[in-house]
Amino acid sequence: MTSPIRIAPSILSADFARLGEEVRALEAAGADWIHVDVMDGHFVPNLTIGPAVVKALRPHTTLPLDVHLMISPVDSFLDAFAEAGADHITVHPEAGPHIHRTVQRIKSLGKMAGVSLNPGTPAKMLDYLIDDIDLVLIMSVNPGFGGQSFIESQLRKIEAVRKMIDKTGRDIRLEVDGGIDMKTAVQAIAAGADVLVAGTATFRGGPSAYASNIAGLKSAGQKIAGLQDA
C-alpha cells in the first residue's frame, strides 16, 4: 500500500463542553481529519449533533471535516452540512431511497462523497457506486455508540473493498470506524484500510496524550506499509 495512513479522531469521544479547544488540540497533535458523527436517534439509537455544531467548529481547524451522516432520510440535510463547512459527506445506502442520486448531490455541492457500509451491509452494495465515490467507510461496529469492540468479520469486507478500489485505479479512501486500537489498527491496515477513525484510542489520557496516541496509530500503519512494500 502506498497511501499514507490518515488518522481521523472522532469528536464523539471529545469533551463536548470544549469542542473548539479539542479540535485545535487534535490538529496540533497531528490528526489528519476531524471525524464528525451525526446521529438522529432514528437511523441509529443515539442523538448527537447537527449542522450548527459543524458550522461552529469550522473556524477552529484547517483540517478536513469528515462528516458521517447516520440519519434518515438523509437527502434533505446534505445542503445544510455542506454549507456548514463539511469537506467530506458520507452516507449509508439504507438512509434514502436512491443512494446514487444522493452521491450525485454531494458531488454537485463540491464535497468528497462517501458511502458507509454497516456490519451487515455487503461490499457488493458498492458495485454500481464505486466509480462515483471518493471514500468508503467500513463500520467495524454497529453504528450508534463509541467504545464498542471491533467486529472481526469486517476484515474480510475491508479486503474485498480494497480489491474493488484497486481495480478502479482511482484515488478512493478506505476508512474504518469502530473499535480501533493498536491491535485492530494493524489488522485494518493490513486488510487495506488507509484511514482510521479513532475515538477512545485518540482521546485516552487527555489532551497531553493526543500526540502520542495519534503517533502510535500511525506507526502501526507505517510498520504494515513497510512489510507490504518489502
Nearest C-alpha neighbor of 199 from the set 121, 124, 140: 140
> Is 50 marked as binding a ligand?
no
> Is 177 marked as binding a ligand?
yes
State the cell numbers at 65.
471535516
Q: What 3-state class would DSSP assign to 169?
A: coil
> Is 81 marked as binding a ligand?
no
> Is 140 marked as binding a ligand?
no
Q: Which residues contact 38 (CB under 8 A, 6 or more apart)?
A: 48, 49, 50, 67, 68, 69, 70, 71, 81
> Is 146 marked as binding a ligand?
yes
Give the residue numbers marked as catalytic.
37, 177
The label of the residue with cell 454537485 reads 108
How far is residue 23 from each of residues 147, 193, 219, measured CA to CA in Å? 20, 24, 22
How far is residue 226 from each of residues 3, 160, 173, 185, 201, measured CA to CA in Å? 12, 21, 19, 15, 23
Question: 71 and 41 in contact (C-beta within 8 Å)?
Answer: no
> Is 226 marked as binding a ligand?
no
> Is 37 marked as binding a ligand?
yes
> Is 179 marked as binding a ligand?
yes
Numbered residues of the known binding site: 10, 35, 37, 68, 144-147, 177-179, 199-200
Q: Annotated binding site for substrate, which residues?
A: 10, 68, 144-147, 177-179, 199-200
Annotated binding site for a divalent metal cation: 35, 37, 68, 177
